[in-house]
Amino acid sequence: MRWWPCSARTAPETIAGLNRPISGTVELSGENIGGTPAHVLAHRGLALVPEGRALFPGLTVREHLRLAGGRSASREEELLEMLPELRKCLGRKAGLLSGGEQQMLAVGRALVTRPRLLLVDEMSLGLAPVIVERLLPILRRAADELGASVLFVEQHVALALEISDRAYVLAHGRIRIEGPAAELRERRELLAASYLGESAA
């Protein structure tokens, strides 16, 4: 099992080192990384696509990609093959992009680092469904083609389950439902109950 959606707010930021865990442990390859600074984890192959995108509005798309990818032309070209919509925007400043283009850039900035673990927080927030349907499968490709593990928080449950290996639904800090995504697709009543705060047992 290599990648999973979950419904926990702040889970990606905590794993990425931006928040300290309140309790429990965060492990990467068997090592406890809870509380490790974000820049250290980034050097170890963690990449975060944060809620809100966190782009630099005055920098161009190409500048974002080169800052993240170390000016590697091969990495940039690999990324543009996955997200060809960004090619036409390379010279435009991030602040002038549409919401969908900005989210593509935020995902691209993370992927150009060729991460071991990609963390994505609410990628679909504020986006039209057609853009969400274009972007979420990119996470599947990141796992399949780049060999990255991917964990993402997503409210578009049906589509998330279509492209995932395993899913977790959390409520009030506790796992309410977990299992192979293919199985959970057949148990929609349990997913609905979990979001309504009812028992999912």
Q: Where are the alpha helices (DSSP H) in the chain?
A: 11-15, 38-43, 61-69, 73-82, 99-111, 129-146, 157-163, 181-184, 188-195
Question: What is the pTM (predicted TM-score) of this model?
Answer: 0.83
pLDDT-wise least confident of 11-25, 52-66, 156-170: 11-25
Question: Could you read off the pLDDT of 30-56 as tens digits, one per residue?
Answer: 888 888 889 999 999 999 998 888 999
What six digits make up the tokens of 45?
């192959």
Domains of the chain: 3-195 (3.40.50.300)
pLDDT band for position 4 (cuts 50, 70, 90):
very low
Phi-psi region of 183 (alpha: psi -120 to 50; beta: other; left: phi over 0): alpha
CB neighbours of residue 102 within 10 Å: 21
